[in-house]
Amino acid sequence: MSRYRRVFGMMAVALLAAAALVAGAGTATSAPAGVTGVWSCTYPASSTYTGARHSSSCGFSPYEYNVTAPADGLWACTVPSGWSYTGARQGSNCNPAAISWEYKLATPSTGIWMCTVLSEHTYYGVRQGLNCGSGFNYEYKIVIPTNGAWACYPPPGWSYTATRMGSNCGTGFNYEYRLFKL
């Protein structure tokens, strides 16, 4: 009987080793920074993804993501830090189980209408429109701060040298600020 136990034990070890090799070969990993178009179990904070699919290779995560570097005009599933977006739409690319939001990425520049204002920027125009999500949402005409530029508020680290009443910063008349920084 001891001989059978030894044979059975060696077979069990061989089966476990084969299972580990098969599982290791199909396991997706995190995409390296700067890599684009790779299906991965995670995506770096500086990246985004343009598609998701069901996966059994990612452990506790049920999805793999098509990792992509952010770019102007790219319809993406997340908005990475330092980026904003000029449009939002619902689609099926970002979540295989449900309809979800996709965002048209854009780098902030003066004069472009965007859906969000980054903390180091400001705006000099606000309107309601249909570009930024469901229903009417606010859109902002971005201002990259420079000395002497007019804006709806001074961003952190900036001051102002003059104010005036105007209609660019919301409903009715509101204060507008001439930006200043040493």
pLDDT of residue 151: 97
| Dihedral angle sign, alpha carbons of residues 167, 170, 173, 176 | negative
pLDDT tens for each residue of 120-152: 999 999 999 999 988 889 999 999 999 999 999
pLDDT of residue 19: 33
Residues of the chain with pLDDT under 50: 1-31
Q: Contact, 104 vs 88, CB < 8 A?
A: yes
pLDDT tens for each residue of 88-106: 999 999 999 999 999 999 9
- Note the pTM of the prediction, 2 decimals: 0.75
Q: Which residues pair with 40 in a beta bridge?
A: 65
